């Protein structure tokens, strides 16, 4: 830590402040700076002080730290692994690269129908993996550069809260503190212990998916959430014989029923083997691969449990959920409250139960999405360092895309949620189902389904759900409009763009 450099920066800030700043907020900041300079000179050498200390260099933490730095705060980011967090390293970005790769498989399949002539194609997993890894390393470096440019200190290592009276973090034997500490350590895939399911550890998780060096010939994905759906879709489309095991009858059970039923259908149409009402009983290793023993029982039918074995499995992938990364932080002593699942409890302003400690992103267990974490990090920075007391994220109407085949886009309430909130008589839905024009020339078909959930006399659109080619890029603009409170009449009043799939959303009857 270069004190001299820091002081120099402070001094120039100080002068700038005196020269230019006139409003109250800035004056407060000015006092804080003075105070800090004094406290720094008094502090013992063993504790390094910042205005803002961020634990976890993922989407939320980086966004918060950078915004804080832009607003004049000294900030540091502690990262135990690689900068960029889940999104960049083992989430959205490599996932989308693989999804794009799989989309090419679909294109190549459809080529002949569109008049192309060419030889047979082969897919090389190592080639895309190397490129993907290289790209991610570049991103890691870009993040590092961004931090350096913003004069944010990057501290590599595991953070542990100490027992000091003032919240203090220790990394590699060094102590750091700040009046504002942000926990943004994210989450990780849930793994079952061998006690819960014998042989469970023979499987991998989404993290392991990104380490695979070759395309598994035979894959079993366990889970019905969006990660299970996405990874099963990618593997199957790229040519792995894929089975997906779900505990109940459909995938994506939290989504609107139109989406969960359609997505389940599309999974099966695309050639994925679906095991409903099924759980893994045990896993064992043989010479020819893994043997996954499963129990199938339809609870409603009260059938007898049926036990089957899936043999010669190269890849067993657990995608049964995610949990907060809080191990080793020593949160209990600090007095930061966690819920029964281990998520950090925060209020709408991202405050934890301990003053001066905040949390954003997946570690809070709510709306596990990169853009939400980024927004939360930035809003928090504006509140803490710009005096914007009301700065917070609005968790309603967050748009989400699932990169299934074809992709899913959804924003707002499901029909079921709308009925529960407003009563059946106040909810009206519009749905459509069609074959996108892309398939006009192809023998392979996917369906596009869309639903608008409207409430009240004015038919305010409170939910929009769709699955089909292009729905990933379609959603963002509609999300702006839904957030603005668009009504069905507004949809009707918008001229269509022809020929697109999205025009169907403004021409529904």
Q: Which residues are annotated as a binding site for NAD(+)?
A: 223-230, 321
Sequence-distant (6+) residues with CB within 8 A of 224 are 244, 246, 247, 248, 250, 251, 252, 253
The Cα–Cα gap between 183 and 328 comes to 13
Shortest distance, CB of residue 209 to another protein, whole angstroms?
16
Q: Restricting to residues 318-337, which ones interact with another protein according to CB under 8 A?
A: none
Shortest spacing between CB 275 and another protein, in angstroms? 29
Region from 116-124, 181-189, 418-426, 452-460 binding another protein, contact rule CB under 8 A: 116-124
Note whether 500 binds another protein by CB under 8 A.
Answer: yes
Choose between 23 and 122: whose C-beta lies nearer to another protein.
122
Tokens representing 439 are 């398939």
Binding region for another protein (CB under 8 A) out of 14-22, 24-32, 47-55, 88-96: 88-96
DSSP codes joined into one string, 251-316:
S-TTS-HHHHHHHHHHHHHTTPEEETTEEEEEEEEETTEEEEEEEE--TTTTPPPEEEEEEEESEE
Q: How far is the CB of 157 from another protein (least distance, A)?
A: 23
Q: Could you say which residues in the range 264-303 bind another protein, by CB under 8 A? A: none
User: Which listed residue (93, 171, 244, 455) binds another protein by CB under 8 A?
Assistant: 93
**Per CB under 8 A, 209 contacts another protein:** no
Of 324, 325, 382, the residue nearest 349 (C-alpha): 382
Q: Which helix (H) or strand (E) holds 188?
A: strand 187-189
Nearer to another protein, 150 or 191 (CB): 150
78 binds another protein (CB under 8 A): no
Closer residue to another protein, CB minimum distance, 103 or 310: 103
- Work out whether 430 is an interface residue with another protein (CB under 8 A): no
| Contacting another protein within 477-496 (CB under 8 A) | 477-481, 483-486, 490-491, 493-496
Residues 404-423 that bind another protein (CB under 8 A): 409
Q: 108: helix, coil or strand? A: helix
For another protein, the closer of residues 54 and 310 by Cβ is 54
Binding segment for another protein (CB under 8 A), chosen from 12-20, 142-150, 261-269, 315-323, is: 142-150
User: Per the annotation, where are the binding residues?
Assistant: 96, 223-230, 321, 362
Cβ–Cβ under 8 Å, residues 475 and 399: yes
Looking at 20, 41, 340, 499, which residue binds another protein (CB under 8 A)? 499
Q: Which stretch binds another protein (CB under 8 A): 72-80, 117-125, 355-363, 414-422?
A: 117-125
Q: How far is CA 8 from CA 14, 15, 152, in A?
A: 10, 11, 15
User: CB under 8 Å to 91, separation ≥6 — which residues?
Assistant: 85, 206, 370
- Does 503 contact another protein by CB under 8 A? yes
Shortest reach from residue 127's CB to another protein, in Å = 4
Active site residue 498: yes
Q: Angle 411-414-415 (CA atoms, 0-180°, nearest 5)? A: 135
Backbone angles phi, psi at 192, to 5 degrees: -85, 145
Residue from 9, 32, 40, 132 binding another protein (CB under 8 A) = 132
Residue 151, sorted as left (phi over 0), alpha (psi -120 to 50) or beta, turns out to be left
**Whether the Cβ atoms of residue 219 and residue 243 lie closer than 8 Å to each other:** yes
Per-residue H/E/C for 59-102: HHHHHHHHHHHHCCCCEEEEECCCCCHHHHHHCHHHHHHHHHHH
Q: How far apart are the first and last CA of the chain?
A: 64
Give the binding range for another protein (CB under 8 A) out of 15-23, 155-163, 227-235, 389-397: 389-397
Q: How many CB atoms lie within 10 A of CB 36?
A: 19
Task: State which of positions 145-174 bind another protein (CB under 8 A).
Answer: 146
Site for another protein in 14-53 (CB under 8 A): none
Give min distance, CB of 367 to another protein, in A: 9
CA 62 to chain centre: 15
* Residues in binding contact with another protein, number by CB under 8 A: 90
Span 453-472, contacts to another protein by CB under 8 A: 470-472
- Tell me whether residue 229 or residue 244 sits nearer to another protein (CB atom): 229
Choose, by CB under 8 A, the member of 3, 7, 107, 434 that binds another protein: 107
Give the C-alpha separation, 307 to 294, whole Å.
6
By C-alpha distance, which of 288, 269, 77, 287 is closest to 185? Answer: 77
- Rule CB under 8 A: is residue 119 a binding residue for another protein? yes
Among 392, 405, 438, 462, binds another protein (CB under 8 A): 438
Q: Which of 104, 382, 405, 498 is catalytic?
A: 498
Residue 275 CA to residue 243 CA, distance in Å, equals 7
Q: Is 120 or 193 the residue whose CB approaches another protein more closely? A: 120
What are the C-alpha distances in Å from 431 to residues 6, 210, 405? 59, 37, 20
Tell the smallest beta-carbon distance from residue 84 to another protein (Å).
Answer: 8
Q: Give the separation between CA 274 and CA 102, rounded to whole angstroms.
A: 19
| Per-position x/- string for 353-382, each x denoting binding to another protein as judged by CB under 8 A, each - no binding | ----------------xxxx-xx-------
Q: Does 9 bind another protein (CB under 8 A)?
A: no
Buried-state track 207-234, b at ≥16 Cβ within 10 A, e below 16: ebbbebeebbebbbbbbbbbbbbbbbbb
Give catalytic residues, as residue numbers.
498
């Amino acid at each position: 830590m270069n004190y001299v450099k820091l002081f120099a920066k402070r001094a120039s800030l100080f002068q700038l402040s005196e020269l230019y700043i006139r409003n109250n907020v800035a004056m407060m900041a000015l006092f804080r700076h003075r105070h800090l300079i004094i406290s720094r000179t008094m502090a013992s050498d063993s504790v390094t002080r910042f205005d803002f200390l961020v634990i976890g260099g993922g989407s939320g933490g980086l966004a918060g730290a950078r915004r804080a730095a832009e607003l004049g705060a000294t900030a540091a980011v502690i990262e135990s692994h690689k900068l960029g967090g889940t999104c960049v390293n083992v989430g959205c970005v490599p996932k989308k690269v693989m999804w794009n790769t799989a989309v090419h498989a679909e294109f190549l399949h459809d080529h002949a129908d569109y008049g192309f002539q060419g030889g047979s194609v082969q897919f090389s997993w190592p080639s895309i993996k190397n490129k993907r890894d290289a790209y991610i390393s570049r991103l890691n470096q870009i993040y590092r550069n961004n931090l350096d440019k913003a004069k944010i200190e990057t501290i590599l290592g595991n953070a542990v809260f100490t027992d000091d009276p003032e919240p203090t973090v220790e990394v590699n034997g060094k102590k750091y503190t700040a009046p504002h500490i942000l926990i943004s350590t994210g989450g990780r895939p849930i793994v079952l212990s061998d006690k819960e399911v014998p042989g469970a550890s023979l499987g991998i998780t989404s993290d392991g998916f990104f380490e695979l060096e070759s395309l598994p010939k035979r894959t079993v994905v366990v889970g019905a959430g969006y990660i299970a759906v996405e990874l099963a879709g990618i593997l199957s489309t790229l040519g792995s014989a894929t089975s997906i095991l779900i505990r109940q009858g459909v995938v994506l059970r939290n989504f609107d029923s139109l989406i969960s039923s359609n997505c389940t259908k599309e999974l099966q149409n695309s050639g994925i083997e679906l095991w409903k009402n099924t759980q893994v009983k045990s896993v064992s290793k043989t010479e020819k691969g893994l043997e996954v023993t499963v129990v199938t029982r339809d609870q409603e039918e009260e059938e007898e449990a049926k036990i089957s074995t899936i043999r010669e499995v190269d890849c067993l992938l657990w995608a049964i959920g995610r949990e907060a990364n809080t191990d080793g932080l020593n949160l209990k002593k600090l007095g930061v409250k966690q819920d029964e699942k281990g998520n950090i409890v925060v209020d709408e302003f991202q405050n934890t139960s301990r003053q001066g400690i905040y949390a954003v992103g997946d570690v809070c267990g709510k709306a596990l999405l990169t853009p939400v974490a980024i927004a939360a990090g930035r809003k928090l920075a504006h509140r803490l360092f710009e005096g914007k007391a009301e700065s917070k994220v609005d968790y309603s109407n967050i748009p989400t895309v699932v990169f299934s085949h074809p992709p899913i886009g959804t924003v707002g309430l499901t029909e079921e949620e709308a009925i529960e909130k407003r009563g059946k008589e106040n909810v009206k839905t519009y749905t459509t189902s069609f074959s996108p024009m892309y398939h006009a020339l192809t023998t392979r078909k996917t369906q596009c389904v869309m639903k608008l959930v409207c409430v009240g006399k004015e038919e305010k659109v409170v939910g929009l759900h769709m699955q089909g080619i292009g729905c990933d890029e379609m959603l963002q603009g509609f999300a702006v409009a839904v957030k603005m409170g668009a009504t069905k009449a507004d949809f009707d009043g918008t001229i269509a763009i022809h020929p697109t799939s999205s025009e169907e959303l403004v021409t529904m009857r």
